C-alpha cells in the first residue's frame, strides 16, 4: 500500500491536508516511530508539490479494527427468543449521563443483567452502569438506582451546550433527553430578558440559558434540597454570575420575588398546572410561558392548546398560543409536550 513518510513535527499539517482532500485511507492505521510518521494514502496526487519534505514509500499498514456496537454485542449475548422485543427495549431505554449508563432491564433478562452491563462499559466513555430500581416517584421525582458494573458511584459530571453539570443520578431528577429542548428554549431568549425557571433541579435549564444567551438575570426555584445543593455547585463550576437559585416550594417562593419576568419555563409535566397561577402573578403583558405536560399522540396539538386556554381563563389572564412542540416520548403513544404561549 502507498504511504507518505514525513517528519513527526510536520505530521499535523499533513494529516489535515490529507483529510481535507480525501487522500487519507481511513481503513488503515498510520505507522510512527520516534522521528517520523507514515500515513496510508489513497493517491499521490500533488503531495510532493505541497509537501516537498515528504517521501513516498510502499508499506504494510495495520487495518482499523471495527469495534462491535452495543447492539451487535447484545444480539450475540441473547438467545433468539430473548432478542424478540427485549433487545430494542434495552437499547431505547438506556441513557448515558456523564460517564454513567442507566439501563432498563426487563424482568425476563434479570439473570443476564450483569453481562449486559459489562457490554456497556467502554461505550461512549461509560465507566459505571446502573439500572433503574424504581420509576420516578415521590415529591422529588427521583429513581432508586442499582449498581451493576464498573466504578461504584452515582455521581458524575455531564456536559451540554458548553456547560458542566455535576449531579447524583439517584438523588435528583435529570433527563439528558431534553438537551435539544433546552437548546431550543435558549435560542428563543432575547438580550436583557429576565427568565424564571420553576422546578430547576440541578440548574441545567438556567445554566444553559445563562451561558448561551444575553439574558440579564435567570432565576431557578427547586424544592429538592439536594438538587438545589448541586445547582449552587454547578453555578460555581461554570463561573456564572447572572443566576439566582432558590430552594423551596415554587408556589410560595414565587410570591416573594419582586420581579416581573419576560420568560417563564415550567418543565414539570403532570403538576405544572398547580403552579400556573403563581407563575402568572410574576408575568406581565408579553411574557412568554413554556408549559410542559403529557398528552396522547392523537390529541396533539388540539388538546394542549385547549388546556392552556382553559387554565388561563380560570385565572382571568388573556393568552395567545405561539406553538406546540413535542419533546420526547413518555409512554407508548404518549408524548411530552411544550406549549409556548404569551400573556396579554
Calculate the CA 213 to chain-centre distance: 18
d(CA 31, CA 262): 58
- Range in 88-92, 153-157, 229-233 the model is least confident about: 88-92
Nearest to 101 by CA among 154, 53, 38, 58: 154
The phi-psi region of residue 298 (left if phi > 0; otherwise alpha if psi is between -120 and 50; otherwise beta) is alpha
Higher pLDDT: 25 or 139? It is: 25
Calculate the CA 110 to chain-centre distance: 28
Name residues whose C-beta falls within 8 Å of residue 153's C-beta, 6 or more positions apart in sequence.
100, 128
**Domain boundaries in the chain?**
2-58, 70-153, 173-343
Grid cell 500533488 is found at: 46
> Over pLDDT 90: what percentage of the chain?
74
Model confidence at 80: pLDDT above 70: yes
Cell of 168: 447524583
Provide the whole-model pTM.
0.78
> Over pLDDT 70: what percentage of the chain?
97
Q: What mean pLDDT is predicted for residues 2-19? A: 93
CATH fold of 173-343? Rossmann fold (3.40.50)
Per-residue pLDDT tens digits for 280-312: 999 999 999 999 999 999 999 999 999 999 999
Q: What mean pLDDT is predicted for residues 71-84? A: 83
Model confidence at 140: pLDDT above 70: no
Higher pLDDT: 139 or 328? It is: 328
Residue 240 banded pLDDT, cuts 50, 70, 90? very high
d(CA 291, CA 273): 8
Higher pLDDT: 262 or 69? It is: 262
Mean pLDDT of the chain, nearest integer: 92
Write down the H helix ranges in the chain.
11-20, 47-50, 70-77, 80-83, 86-93, 113-120, 179-188, 204-212, 225-237, 250-254, 276-280, 302-314
Per-residue pLDDT tens digits for 177-217: 999 999 999 999 999 999 999 999 999 999 999 999 999 99
70-153 CATH pick, 3.40.50.720, 3.30.300.110, 1.10.274.10, 3.40.80.10:
3.30.300.110
Nearest to 318 by CA among 293, 284, 290, 278: 284
Residue 276 banded pLDDT, cuts 50, 70, 90? very high
Residue 137 banded pLDDT, cuts 50, 70, 90? low
Question: What is the pLDDT at residue 285?
Answer: 96
2-58 CATH pick, 3.30.1370.60, 3.30.70.2580, 3.30.390.10, 3.40.710.10:
3.30.70.2580
Q: What mean pLDDT is predicted for residues 69-79? A: 84
Amino acid at each position: 500500500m502507498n504511504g507518505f513518510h514525513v517528519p513527526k513535527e510536520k505530521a499535523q499539517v499533513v494529516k489535515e491536508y490529507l483529510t481535507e482532500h480525501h487522500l487519507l485511507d481511513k481503513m488503515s492505521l498510520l505507522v510512527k516511530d520516534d522521528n517520523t510518521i507514515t500515513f496510508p494514502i489513497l493517491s499521490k496526487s500533488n503531495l510532493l508539490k505541497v509537501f516537498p519534505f515528504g517521501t513516498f514509500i510502499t508499506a504494510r499498514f495495520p487495518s482499523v479494527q471495527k469495534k462491535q456496537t452495543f447492539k451487535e454485542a447484545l444480539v450475540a449475548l441473547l438467545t433468539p427468543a430473548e432478542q424478540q422485543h427485549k433487545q430494542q427495549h434495552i437499547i431505547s431505554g438506556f441513557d448515558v449521563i456523564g460517564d454513567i449508563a442507566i439501563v432498563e432491564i426487563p424482568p425476563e433478562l434479570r439473570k443476564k443483567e450483569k453481562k449486559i452491563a459489562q457490554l456497556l462499559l467502554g461505550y461512549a466513555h461509560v465507566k459505571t452502569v446502573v439500572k433503574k430500581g424504581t420509576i420516578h416517584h415521590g415529591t422529588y421525582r427521583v429513581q432508586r438506582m442499582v449498581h451493576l458494573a464498573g466504578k461504584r458511584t452515582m455521581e458524575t459530571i455531564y456536559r451540554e451546550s458548553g456547560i458542566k453539570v455535576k449531579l447524583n443520578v439517584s438523588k435528583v431528577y435529570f433527563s439528558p433527553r431534553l438537551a435539544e429542548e433546552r437548546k431550543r428554549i435558549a435560542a428563543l431568549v432575547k438580550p436583557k430578558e429576565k427568565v424564571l425557571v420553576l422546578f430547576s433541579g440541578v440548574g441545567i435549564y438556567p445554566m444553559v440559558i445563562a451561558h448561551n444567551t444575553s439574558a440579564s438575570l435567570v432565576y431557578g426555584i427547586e424544592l429538592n434540597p439536594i438538587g438545589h445543593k448541586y445547582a449552587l455547585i454547578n453555578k460555581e463550576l461554570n463561573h456564572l454570575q447572572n443566576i439566582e437559585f432558590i430552594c423551596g416550594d415554587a408556589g410560595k417562593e414565587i410570591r416573594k420575588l419582586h420581579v416581573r419576568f419576560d420568560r417563564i419555563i415550567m418543565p414539570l409535566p403532570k403538576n405544572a398546572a398547580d403552579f400556573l397561577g403563581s407563575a402568572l402573578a410574576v408575568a406581565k403583558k408579553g411574557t412568554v410561558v413554556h408549559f410542559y405536560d403529557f398528552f396522547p399522540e392523537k390529541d396533539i396539538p388540539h388538546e394542549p392548546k385547549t388546556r392552556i386556554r382553559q387554565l388561563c381563563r380560570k385565572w382571568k389572564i388573556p393568552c395567545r398560543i405561539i406553538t406546540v412542540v413535542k419533546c420526547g416520548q413518555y409512554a407508548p403513544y404518549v408524548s411530552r409536550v411544550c406549549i409556548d404561549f404569551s400573556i396579554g
